[in-house]
Chain A
Amino acid sequence: MILFVVILALLAAGVVAWASERLSKDAPRLVSIMAFGAGLVWSAALWLDGADANGLYAAMDWPWIARFGIHLALEMDGLSLLMVALTMFLGIVAVVSSWDEIEAAHGFFQFNILWVMAGVVGVFTAMDLLLFFFFWEVMLIPMYLLIAIWGHEEKAYASMKFFLFTQISGLLMLFAILALVYVHHGATGEITFSYKALLDAEIDPRIAIWLMLGFFVAFATKLPSVPVHTWLPDAHTQAPTAGSVILAGILLKTGAYGIIRFAVPLFPEASADFAIWAMLLGTVSILYGGAMAFSQSDFKRLVAYSSIAHMGFILLGVYAFNELGMQGAIVTMVAHGFSTAALFMMAGAIQQRLHTREMGQMGGLWKHAPRMGTMTLFFVIASVGMPGLGNFVGEFLALLGAFQENWVMAVVATAGIVVAAVYGLYLMQRSFQGTPNPDVASMRDFGLREMSVMAAMMAGLVWVGVYPQHVLELSNATIQTLGILP
C-alpha cells in the first residue's frame, strides 16, 4: 500500500510541480526537492525500522487485470530499498544539478524528472512481470522528453536513439515475458504474471535459453553492455545535466537490477550456461568502454563511455554466480551512481559556464575554479577505483568473485583498471590541469548549493568505500532469498 502511495505521490508531485510553475520559477524545483527529500527520509525510516520476518520492508498485492492474472504487486526488500533510496538521493542531485541550466518550462521539466523517478521506483519494487514491464516503459517517456526538449544540439538524434534502443529491446523482453507466462500456463493451466509463481516455472531448457536472452538483451541494452551500448554516449552527451545524472545514476541500474532480480533467478540453468558469454561481454565492455573513453574529446562522452566500462564489472560480478561477485555488482551499482552522477553534474556545470563540452577548449580550469577541480579530481579518482572509495569495493569484489569462477576472464578484466587510470587522469589533465586556456577569461566556481550536493556524494562514496557493510547487509538479504547462488 505504502509503495503504491509513494509512486502516486511522486506522480502527483510531478503534476503539482508543473502547476506551480505559475507561482514562481523556483516553485517547481522546490516541489521536486521536497518530494525527493521526503522520499529519502521515508526510505531511511524504513531502513531504520528494519525488515519483517520475510525480509520485506513493505509489500502490497492488489489485483489489476484479472483476465491475465496481473497484479499490482509491489514489494520492497533489501535490494529494492537500497535502489529506491539511491533513486531519491539522486533525484535531489538531479534537481540541483540543473538549477541554472533550464531556462524554460521549469514546471514541465520537474514534472518529467518526478515521473521518471516514479517509474523507477515502480521498476525497483514490482513483483509482477507485467507491472515491471509497465514501469520499465513508463520511465522511458519522460526520460525521452527530458532529452528531446532540454537537450543540446543533437537532441533529436540522441533522444530517438535512446528510445529506439530501449524500446526495441523492451519488446523482446515483453515477448519473453509472455512466452514464459504461456509456458507456465501450459504446464499448470494458470495464467499469472506473478514473479514468485513464475520463479517455479519449469521450462524446457531449449526454450529457457531463448526466453532468458529476451530478458538479457533488454537489460544489457539498458546497462549497457557492448555491443548494444552505442545509444548511451549520444544520449548522455545531449541530455541536460539532470537527464545525464538520472540516466547514469539510476536508469542504468535498472538494467543491472533486472538482471539480478529477473534474468538470472527466472532462468537459473540457462543463465548458468550463458554465464561465460555474459562475463565475456562484461570483460569486453570494461576494456572497450575504457578504450573508447580515452578516444573522446567531449567531456560528457568520455564519462559516458566510462560508465559502459563500469557496468562491465556488474555483468562480470553477477554472472560469476557467487556471493562475492553479486555483492560486488551491487556495490558497484551504488558507487557508480554517486561517482558518475557527480561527474555528469560537473560536465553540466562546465558546459553551462563555458558553453562547450570539448576538452580541447578547456585546460587549466583549476586556476579559475579550484573547487570544481578538486571535486572533479575526487570523483575521477573514485571512478578510477581508489581503495577507500565505493567503486573500489564494488569492482574488487566483482573481480574477486569472477576470479573464482573464471580466472582468465577476471585477469583480462583486471587490466581494465589500468585503462581506467589512463582515461580518468587524461580527463583531469585536459580539463582542469595543464596550461590555462587563454580563451577562458574566468569561470564561476561552485557555490554552496553545488558543494553541499557534492559533499553528500563524497560522503556517500567514502561511506561505501570504508564501511560498505550497510549496503552489503541490505543486499545480502535479497541475494540469499533469490536462490541463485549455489
Chain B
Amino acid sequence: MLPKVLEKSKFAAFATALAGEYQVVGPQLKEQSKAGGETFVFGPVTDGAALRMDYNITLLSPKKYFLPMRETLLKYTTVGHPKAEAVMDTRQRVIVGAHPCDIYATWLLDKVFSTDHKDPNYLSRRERALIIGLDCAKPCDETSFCHDMGTNYVESGFDLMMTDIGEAYFVEIATEAGQALLAKAETREAHNEDFAKRQAFMERKQGGFHKRIPVDTKYLPEILEESYDSLVWEAIGRRCFSCGSCNLVCPTCYCFDITDKLNLDLTSGTRERTVDSCQLDNFASVAGGESFREQRSSRLRHRFFRKAKYIQEAFGRKGCVGCGRCDRNCVAKINSVETYTQIAGSR
C-alpha cells in the first residue's frame, strides 16, 4: 500500500477522530521536575492535542494494555455449587506513537502468549488493538542501548508507521486495518520530496545510534553461559535491593502472580493477575519455606540470563529491547550495558 503524508497540524484531529471509535492511548506528559525533566506515560486521550509525539520514552511501555499491571481473570461465587466465569477485556484500542523497541517487545509477547498454551486474556486485548508506530531518529537518552539489541528498526508489528519529516508525518501503511484507520485522517499522497525527506530521516537515523556494548550481542547467550560462576554476579548482587523495579518497568517481562480476592459478602470474589518480579524475595519460594533462588546474585543473574539467553533460545529473538527502562529505574544504578561489558570481560 502506498504511503501517505499527514500534516502535523492535522494529527491531533486524526487522533481525536479515532477516539470516537476506539480507546486511543498515546504518550502524554506525566510530570515535570527540575531534576527529572519531563516524564511521559502512555494514557488514554479523548483529545488528540494532549498527545506528546515528541516524547522520548514512557515510564511503562504499551505492554500495560496487553498484560495490565493488574487485571481480573475470573469472577466467581461460592454459594452452593461454585460458579466461575472468565473476564475478558474486549475494548477496541489504538496505541498511538509506539517506538520501534516497544513494537519489538510486543512482537515478543505475542509469541510468548500464543505459543503452547494460549493466554486468552492477553490475546483478547492484543487482537483488538491497532498499533500506530512512530519511528525515532536518535536514542531516547544516554541510557538506551536499543542499537546493541537491534531493536531500533522494526519491519512489522504495526498497522501504521509514522516518520517525522518536518512539518508532516510520512505514514507507511502496513495493514488493511491501518489503512482503514488512516481514512479518518486528512492525508495526501506522498510526493517525491516526501520520499526524499523520509530518506534523509533514515540517513540521520543511521548516524544517530551507536553501539555501547563492546561485544556483538549475538554472542551474549554463550558469553552468559560461561559467566555463570563469575564473581560479577556476586558483586552486582550486593548492590541490588531486590526491589523488582527493573522487571516491573520492562516491556518484555511477563511473569505474574495470581491471587484470589473476596468481596465483603465473602461469597463472591475475583481471581486477579498482577505482574510479578523474579527479583523479589519470595518469588521462587514454596509453601514449606524453601526458596530456590535465595541469593540476590542468583536472582539478578536469572534476570540477565532470561533477557539475553533463555528467551533468545526459546523464541529466536532477544528478550531485551535495550530501552533502558530497567536501568533508569534502578536505585542501585545497576546498569545493563555495564553488566554485559563486565561479564564479557570477566570470563
Are A and B physically bound partners? no
